[in-house]
């Protein structure tokens, strides 16, 4: 086995750089050249048809057959002219990732390339292989994909990709996108209604998302020589390198050449696909990096993030690299997240989370600001559940990632504003439009745009003109978190509107009514606000005192979806039915179990088949040495001591693996998925993973480096 490691290291030494040039001098000359978007529609459709399409897209209306035929025909001509041979419905099943089934444009019967409107609008992939959480077995065995015209088609390789949702024949949604679209609709309606209290010109509110994507990059040969990376996407063993991230020198360091080439190339591919990637930099841990796009409407931003991950994986291959999105690929180093920067923006171009210099507009800002905090307070457990996965469990609360406790950071200036508003809140309405609040609210913009007022330890932070949900996992589909966030904000905005309307009906002046409700919200949601160090032990205690949840693992976190409060929330806004929520939880629990199970198997196999044999070989060498020393009459105490130490670790590993296998046998018999998931978490993962790892990592320090079979952390992480 060790030969694989050294073979990989030899390859690493021979690697050269892969030079990458921009295809054209300016990015603007090729940006979105592989996107069939509004511009292309306008250019290729008859004006009357284009009008129909654009209004249908804007107002989320159904597109009729004739119009769909025209769009399909235009898309086909565009794609074929660019060399496409196939089309596919591109969707996001609950497995994570994306799925596609390619069909050729070529129709052998007629001998020509064809693409009908009906094929654009709806397709039937073989749904039986996608998880449905029991929906299909109980109800309907087949599903279909349906065109989402709000996200543009794009050409990927030789295939025209059509973003779609995935639904069972009985109407239950089986993907990540469908509920997201519904939640976005809900927040549009609710936010618009609240905006109308301020400005009648506002008739649409769009949620936007800028997902900052973190990732690790490792050499492909080294990756292939680590079965745990290949099978589980993470290392299950590995002693911390002598130098980790304690030097804190990676963050602003220069990007290694090979990684730089890789970045340049995947950025080019992204630009062609209309993905507005913008920022690249090193992250805190060695070999960790980040790419951030310019924010876009949530649905498109999320499709782009899904596509980005795919593009990155493919391009990495060309550079003999592997990109890791796993939430915790290396113990002892920072995990990988996907900060979801989020805001609401009106059709009049106002970012509802951007404070302004006018007191009147700031009341609108404060309304959304306070209502969002209130929503997070009300539904913290649901937000926590929305980001729960087996892999993210290793990251949350691991002293360097957002804690599993949901809290909101708003900065000292906004804290002062809310405190003032809560305590005094005496608002004087002057004649006309002039409103004066004894808060110094006019002062907000200058102050909070001060970027030094930042807290990196908060899972949900206000960052000047947007909120940043930082607990989302690096490999996750943002749709689930974004569905929850937009939904809870929509609901709270509805409640806000009701409360204000009730006050107005009692005769309170509108703006006073608004301030009164906001003051109430500030008081009620105070416990969720936290400005201190979210990684500290004090916060764990303090949060408990405040009654905030600290749910450490996925199986328990997911329970929040099934609470009466959550079920009502999903049903009321038509986002997910009771049955759908249950099915989704079942899918996620099953996914959890499988992930832990795979990891347990990888740990067992590696430990028994690679580590122990290696340790024994080395131990035999020591025994020979000890005997030799003894024969010469030389003191062999330290060698004997090492031999004993190795024996101790070998025993610990053997016993651990054997017991863990017995536990799996027992747990696998449990029929209740929820109970089985909890058992996998507590009786397998928590009971054995660290214990076995500890013994293996100790052996790594004892066994001759020449014999050690697994590529070491220092080799994986210090790519140059």
Nearest-approach distance from CB 408 to Mg ion, in angstroms: 15
Segment near ligand ADP (CB under 6 A); pick from 81-89, 459-467, 515-523, 655-663: 459-467
487 binds, among ligand ADP, Mg ion, none (CB under 5 to 8 A by kind): none
Q: Cβ closer to Mg ion: 258 or 339?
A: 339
Q: Cβ closer to ligand ADP: 463 or 554?
A: 463
SS (H, E, C) 569-624: HHHHCCCCCHHHHHHHHHHHHHHHHHHHHHHHHHHHHHHHHHHHHHHHHHHHHHHH
Indicate whether 295 belongs to the interface with ligand ADP (CB under 6 A). Answer: yes
Would you state the structure tokens that stand for residue 429, as one six-digit string? 């309405």
Would you state the structure tokens that stand for residue 320, as one six-digit string? 């003999």
Indicate whether 614 belongs to the interface with ligand ADP (CB under 6 A). Answer: no
Nearest-approach distance from CB 233 to Mg ion, in angstroms: 24
Would you state the structure tokens that stand for residue 395, as one six-digit string? 């990251």
Indicate whether 379 belongs to the interface with Mg ion (CB under 5 A). Answer: no
* Secondary element (H or E) of residue 155: strand 153-156
Indicate whether 351 belongs to the interface with ligand ADP (CB under 6 A). Answer: yes
Torsions phi, psi for 242 (to 5 deg) = -55, -35
Nearest-approach distance from CB 243 to ligand ADP, in angstroms: 26
For ligand ADP, the binding residue among 67, 178, 302, 341 (CB under 6 A) is 341
For ligand ADP, the binding residue among 328, 379, 466, 664 (CB under 6 A) is 466
CB 149 within 8 A of CB 116: no
How far, in Å, CA of 643 to CA of 647, rounded? 6
Indicate whether 294 belongs to the interface with ligand ADP (CB under 6 A). Answer: yes
Segment near ligand ADP (CB under 6 A); pick from 163-171, 224-232, 302-310, 340-348: 340-348
At residue 331's C-alpha, the angle toward residues 327 and 335, to 5°, is 30
Kindly tell me the burial class for residue 554, based on how many C-beta atoms sit within 10 Å of its own C-beta (0-12, 13-18, 19 or more).
buried
Specify the residue for token string 């610990």. Answer: 652
CB 287 within 8 A of CB 251: no
Q: Cβ closer to ligand ADP: 364 or 557?
A: 364
Q: Cβ closer to ligand ADP: 268 or 350?
A: 350
Indicate whether 466 belongs to the interface with Mg ion (CB under 5 A). Answer: no
Q: Classify strands 159-168 and 86-91 as parallel, antiparallel or unpaired.
A: parallel
Indicate whether 457 belongs to the interface with ligand ADP (CB under 6 A). Answer: no
How far, in Å, CA of 525 to CA of 519, rounded? 10
CA dihedral 650, 651, 652, 656 (to 10 degrees): 110
Segment near Mg ion (CB under 5 A); pick from 243-251, 334-342, 475-483, 574-582: 334-342
Nearest-approach distance from CB 291 to Mg ion, in angstroms: 12
Indicate whether 497 belongs to the interface with Mg ion (CB under 5 A). Answer: no
Nearest-approach distance from CB 464 to Mg ion, in angstroms: 11
Nearest-approach distance from CB 456 to Mg ion, in angstroms: 9
Segment near ligand ADP (CB under 6 A); pick from 191-199, 288-296, 394-402, 428-436: 288-296
- Return the closest-CA partner of residue 410 out of 258, 235, 588, 531: 531
Nearest-approach distance from CB 384 to ligand ADP, in angstroms: 21
Q: Cβ closer to ligand ADP: 238 or 464?
A: 464
Indicate whether 610 belongs to the interface with Mg ion (CB under 5 A). Answer: no
How far, in Å, CA of 357 to CA of 514, rounded? 19
Indicate whether 272 belongs to the interface with Mg ion (CB under 5 A). Answer: no
Residue ranges in 174-233 that form contacts with ligand ADP under rule CB under 6 A: 208-210, 212
The full DSSP string for 47-76 is HHHHHHHHHHHHTTPPPPHHHHHHHHHHHH
3-state secondary structure of 712: coil
Residue ranges in 368-427 that form contacts with ligand ADP under rule CB under 6 A: none
Q: Cβ closer to Mg ion: 339 or 584?
A: 339
At residue 199's C-alpha, the angle toward residues 197 and 203, to 5°, is 95
Nearest-approach distance from CB 290 to Mg ion, in angstroms: 9
Indicate whether 673 belongs to the interface with ligand ADP (CB under 6 A). Answer: no
Residue closest to ligand ADP (Cβ): 210
CB 364 within 8 A of CB 198: yes
* Secondary element (H or E) of residue 103: strand 99-104
Nearest-approach distance from CB 535 to Mg ion, in angstroms: 17
3-state secondary structure of 92: coil
Nearest-approach distance from CB 256 to ligand ADP, in angstroms: 21
Nearest-approach distance from CB 407 to Mg ion, in angstroms: 17
Rounded CA Rg of the chain? 28
Residue closest to Mg ion (Cβ): 339
Nearest-approach distance from CB 535 to ligand ADP, in angstroms: 18
Segment near ligand ADP (CB under 6 A); pick from 287-295, 365-373, 404-412, 469-477: 287-295
Would you state the structure tokens that stand for residue 234, as one six-digit string? 């993470």
Q: Residue 187: which region, alpha, beta or left (left: phi > 0; alpha: psi -120 to 50)?
A: alpha
- Residue ranges of alpha helices (H) inside 273-351 are 298-318
Segment near Mg ion (CB under 5 A); pick from 28-36, 94-102, 338-346, 594-602: 338-346
Q: Where are the beta strands (DSSP E) in 181-305?
A: 205-219, 277-282, 288-293, 296-297
Q: Cβ closer to ligand ADP: 279 or 412?
A: 279
Indicate whether 339 belongs to the interface with Mg ion (CB under 5 A). Answer: yes
> What residues line the site for Mg ion (CB under 5 A)?
339
> What residues line the site for ligand ADP (CB under 6 A)?
208-210, 212, 279, 292-295, 341-343, 351, 463, 465-466
């Amino acid at each position: 086995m060790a030969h694989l490691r050294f073979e990989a290291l030899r390859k690493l030494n021979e690697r050269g750089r892969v030079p990458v040039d921009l295809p054209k001098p300016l990015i603007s000359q090729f940006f979105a050249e592989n996107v069939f978007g509004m511009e292309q529609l306008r250019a290729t459709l008859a004006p009357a048809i284009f009008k129909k399409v654009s209004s249908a897209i804007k107002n989320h209306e159904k597109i009729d057959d004739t119009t769909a035929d025209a769009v399909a025909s235009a898309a086909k001509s565009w794609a074929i002219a660019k060399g496409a041979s196939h089309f596919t419905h591109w969707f996001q099943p609950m497995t994570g990732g994306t799925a596609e089934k390619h069909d050729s444009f070529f129709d052998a019967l007629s001998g020509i390339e064809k693409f009908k409107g009906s094929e654009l609008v709806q397709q039937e992939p073989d749904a039986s292989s996608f998880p449905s959480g029991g929906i299909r077995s109980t109800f309907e065995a087949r599903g279909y994909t349906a065109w989402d015209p709000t996200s543009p088609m794009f050409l990927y390789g030789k295939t025209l990709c059509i973003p779609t949702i995935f639904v069972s024949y009985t109407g239950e949604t089986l993907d990540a996108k469908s509920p997201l679209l519904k939640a976005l609709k809900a927040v549009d309606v609710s936010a618009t209604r609240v905006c109308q209290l301020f400005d009648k010109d506002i008739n649409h509110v769009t949620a936007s998302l800028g997902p900052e994507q973190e990732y690790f990059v490792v050499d492909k040969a080294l990756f292939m020589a680590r079965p745990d990376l290949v099978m589980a996407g993470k290392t299950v063993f590995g002693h911390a390198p002598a130098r980790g991230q304690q030097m804190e020198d990676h963050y602003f360091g220069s990007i290694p050449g090979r990684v730089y080439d890789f970045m340049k190339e995947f950025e080019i591919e992204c630009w062609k696909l209309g993905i507005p990637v913008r920022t690249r930099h090193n992250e805190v841990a060695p070999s960790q990096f980040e790419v951030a796009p310019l924010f876009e409407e949530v649905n498109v931003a999320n499709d782009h993030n899904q596509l980005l991950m795919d593009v990155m994986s493919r391009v990495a291959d060309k550079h003999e690299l592997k990109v890791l999105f796993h939430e915790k690929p290396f113990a002892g180093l920072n995990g990988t997240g996907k900060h979801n920067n989020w805001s609401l923006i009106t059709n009049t171009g106002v970012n509802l989370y951007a404070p302004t210099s006018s007191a009147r507009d700031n009341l609108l800002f404060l309304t959304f600001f306070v209502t969002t905090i209130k929503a997070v307070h009300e539904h913290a457990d649901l937000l926590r559940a929305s980001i729960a996965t087996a892999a993210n469990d290793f990251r949350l609360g691991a002293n360097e990632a957002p804690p599993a406790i949901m809290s909101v950071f708003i900065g000292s200036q906004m804290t002062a504003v809310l405190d003032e508003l809560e305590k005094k809140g005496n608002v004087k309405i002057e004649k006309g439009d002039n409103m004066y609040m004894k808060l110094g609210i006019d002062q907000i913009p200058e102050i909070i745009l001060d970027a030094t007022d930042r807290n990196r330890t908060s899972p949900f932070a206000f960052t000047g003109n947007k909120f940043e949900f930082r607990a989302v996992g690096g490999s996750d589909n943002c749709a689930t978190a974004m569905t929850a966030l937009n939904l809870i904000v929509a609901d709270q905005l509805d409640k806000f509107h009701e409360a204000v309307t009730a006050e107005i009906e009692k005769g309170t002046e509108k703006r006073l009514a608004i301030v009164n409700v906001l003051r109430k919200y500030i008081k009620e949601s105070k416990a969720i606000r936290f400005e201190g160090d979210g990684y500290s032990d004090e916060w764990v205690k303090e949060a408990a005192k405040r009654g905030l949840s600290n749910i450490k693992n996925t199986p328990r976190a997911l329970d929040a979806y099934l609470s009466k409060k959550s079920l009502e929330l999903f049903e009321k806004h038509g986002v997910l039915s009771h049955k759908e929520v249950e099915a989704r939880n079942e899918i996620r629990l099953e996914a959890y179990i499988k992930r832990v199970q795979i990891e347990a198997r990888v740990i067992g196999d590696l430990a028994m088949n690679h580590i122990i044999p290696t340790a024994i070989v080395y131990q035999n060498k020591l025994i020979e040495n000890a005997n030799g020393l003894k024969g010469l009459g030389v003191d062999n105490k330290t060698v004997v001591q090492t031999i004993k130490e190795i024996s101790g670790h070998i025993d610990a590993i053997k016993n651990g693996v054997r017991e863990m296998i017995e536990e799996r046998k027992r747990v696998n018999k449990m029929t209740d998925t929820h109970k089985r998931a909890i058992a996998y978490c507590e009786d397998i993962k928590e009971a054995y993973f660290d214990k076995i790892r500890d013994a293996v990592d100790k052996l790594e320090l004892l066994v001759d480096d020449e014999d050690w079979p697994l590529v070491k952390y220092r080799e994986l992480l210090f790519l140059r």
